[in-house]
Structure 1
Amino acid sequence: MLLLVAALLLLGTVLGTVAHAPLPVSLLAGGAIALWLAIFALRERYGRRRTSAH
């Protein structure tokens, strides 16, 4: 329950910050996060295939 409260507080802080940031800054940050998540997903997908073959 405490983890959920902390996550909601963090989400509220981040959304509040994005609401006051200029649109290009928000889009750049969102693009960077999306790129990071895509790279992470690809590394997880192909990394697990390599390690499970041994």
Structure 2
Amino acid sequence: MLFLVAALLLLGVVLGSAAHLPLPVTLAAAGAIGLWLVVFAVRERISSHRRA
């Protein structure tokens, strides 16, 4: 439950700051985060195949 509260608080802070940034900066940050998540997912998938 505490993790959920912290995640929602962090989401509120990120969305609040994104509302004050110019659109290209917000899109660049979103792209960087998305790319990081894709790389993380691919690395996890590869490592799980190696373990099995």
Scaled to the shorter chain, the TM-score interval is: 0.7 to 0.9
Question: What TM-score results when the alignment is normalised by the length of structure 1?
Answer: 0.83
Question: What TM-score results when the alignment is normalised by the length of structure 2?
Answer: 0.85
What is the aligned length? Answer: 52
Any gaps of 5 or more consecutive residues in structure 1?
Answer: none
Q: Give yes or no for the alignment of 1:40 onto 2:40.
A: yes
Distance in 1 of aligned mates of 2:20 and 2:36: 23
Structure 1 residue runs of 4+, over 4 Å off? none
Provide the identity percentage: 65
Structure number with greater Rg is 1
